[in-house]
Structure 1
Amino acid sequence: MNIPNTITWARVLLTAVIVFLILKGFFLFAFALFLVAAISDYFDGYFARKLNQVTNFGKIFDQMSDKIFITSILIAFVELNLVPSWIVIVIVFRDTLVTTVRMAALVSNQVIAANYFGKLKTVSQMIWIVVLFLKSIGYNVYMVDDILAYVVVFFTIASGILYLGQNIRVLKG
């Protein structure tokens, strides 16, 4: 296993610890680990390119680890009534459609990399989670968390529509 994929695996494992800490009310520790895991998302890609260790598995697994990471944390916040469940449903719905298209492409030996709009979606979700953590540890974030929730929904839906449009050939079978 190469360095980038090891970093990605570590992010997946950290996700379980972060969710456990959130559900037990240890928000500050969970937040610190979230920041480490979020930064690792940059470094796995950086090292993959820098060390020439870009693999098809890494392209797919990095994207899936982001979905596991973000969705799991948001579900934990839903459990604590800090996030409306309908937003997580929108995220899961979009991610499931996109993953289905990626799997269909794999059957034809195609690997579809993330697009720029998808990266904006992920960044907006991570920024929203940072604000949710700040709120959970006592900071008054006013309405920033609510505004960011709608920004996340916008980027989630828009990136899904764009992704499906860019990969219509896969959908046609």
Structure 2
Amino acid sequence: MNLANKITLARIFLVPIIMLFLLINVKFPHVRIEQFSITYNQIIAALIFIVAASTDSLDGYIARKRKLVTNLGKLLDPLADKLLVSAVLISLVEMDKVDAWIVIVIISREFAITGLRQIALLEGVVLAASKWGKWKTAAQITAIIALLINNFPFALIQFPFDQIASWIAAIITIYSGIDYFVKNKHVINFSDQ
């Protein structure tokens, strides 16, 4: 197994660790600054999430630079991304930090695009990621980090950056999904139905 695939697997293995810190019922001490409060386990979960999210670009860069692109990597990389984002978002719903509808929109888009990619593969076509897909990922990661750290430092000035970032992530997610289907509608052959 090459280095890029090992990094991708590490991202997958970090998911349950993040979940453990987010959903554990042990009362960790709080960091308090004026009206702002956050538990140490949330800080640890956020830091691990940032490390895991940053490996997404790293493994792809290494695979391309060293010509280590493999079928296993093509399978694992998007799976790792979806597991990481979905698991953390579902945890944030459980923690009552994000509206469930936003998470449903994001996860539904991922299922839909995965389905479209599978149809394309059956036709022998590989669908490349779009710039909107990259923007979608950046928006989702930004929103998740803001939610994980209780909107710090914006909470100090009572600015709802985390909620605004969540809405922006949902809007870009919807747009990127529509864009992806429109640009790749040739893959779906309705005449066979």
Q: Which band: TM-score by shorter chain?
A: over 0.9
1:2 alignment partner AA: N
Q: Which has the higher strand share?
A: 2
User: What corresponds to 2:18 in structure 1?
Assistant: 18
Aligned pairs for 1:60-139 within 5 A:
60-135=75-150
Gapped regions of structure 1 (runs ≥ 5): none
Task: Tell me the distance in 2 between the aligned counterparts of 1:154 and 1:59.
Answer: 27
1:171 equivalent to 2:188? Answer yes
Per-residue deviation, residues 75-127 of structure 1 (Å, max 9, x unmatched): 00100100110001001111111000011111122222211110110110001
Task: Tell me the distance in 2 between the aligned counterparts of 1:138 and 1:122.
Answer: 22
Alignment deviations for residues 24-83 of structure 1 (CA, whole Å, 9 cap, x no partner): 161111111111101111110110111111234323421221111111101001001001
RMSD: 1.8
Aligned residues: 173
TM-score by length of 2: 0.83
Structure 2 residue runs of 5 or longer lacking an equivalent are 26-40
Bigger radius of gyration among the two? 2
| Dislocated runs of 4+, deviation >4 Å | 136-139
> Equivalent residue of 1:164, what SS?
helix
Shift of 1:12: 0.9
2:166 match: 149
- Tell me the equivalent position of 1:3: 3
Amino-acid identity (%):
38
